[in-house]
Amino acid sequence: MKFRMSNGRVVSDLPDLTGVSLAELPALDGPRVDVVLEQVLDHSDDQNQEQRD
């Protein structure tokens, strides 16, 4: 996950699909599916169990 700063705002590389309809989704050119895929496939420890033992 990458980001950059711009005028007091954080611009993430998570594509902002607000306003994109499902009908548009398959043909949408550009969104970096790998941004989330990488996280999903590498995330072996996907439960937060930071509880007391």
Partner 1 sequence: MWSWNRCSTIRMTKTKSSVTRTSGDATVAGPRRCFPCSGVPGHEVPLAVIDQIFAGPVDVVSLAELEAAQHSRRLLLLKAVLESGDADYRGAWRTLVAAQQRDRCAVRAILMYPSVGTWLVRALRAARSALREEVPTNSYLSSVAAAASIRTGLDATLDVPAWHGRVTLPTIGQAGPVGDGSREFVPLGELCFDSGEKWWPLRRHRSTEGEHSVLWTIDDLDPYREFGDVRPPARLDSGEFADWCGLLDEAWRILVSRHRAYAAELAAIRPVIVPVPPGRGIVASSSFSAFGAMMVAPHQSAVSLAETLIHEVQHSKLNALLNLVPLEHDESGRRYRAPWRRDPRPLAGLLHGIYAFTAVVEFWAAEQRSRTGLRRTAEREFADHLEQVREAVLTARSADELTEFGRRFLDAVDRRLSAFPG
Binding site for partner 1 (CB under 8 A): 1-6, 8-23, 25-26, 28-33, 35-37, 39-41, 43, 45-53
Residue 46: what residue type? D
| Dihedral sign computed on CA atoms, order 47, 50, 52, 53 | positive
> What distance in Å separates the CA atoms of residue 38 and residue 49, rounded to the nearest whole number?
22
Considering the complex, what minimum distance in angstroms separates the CB of residue 14 from partner 1?
Answer: 5
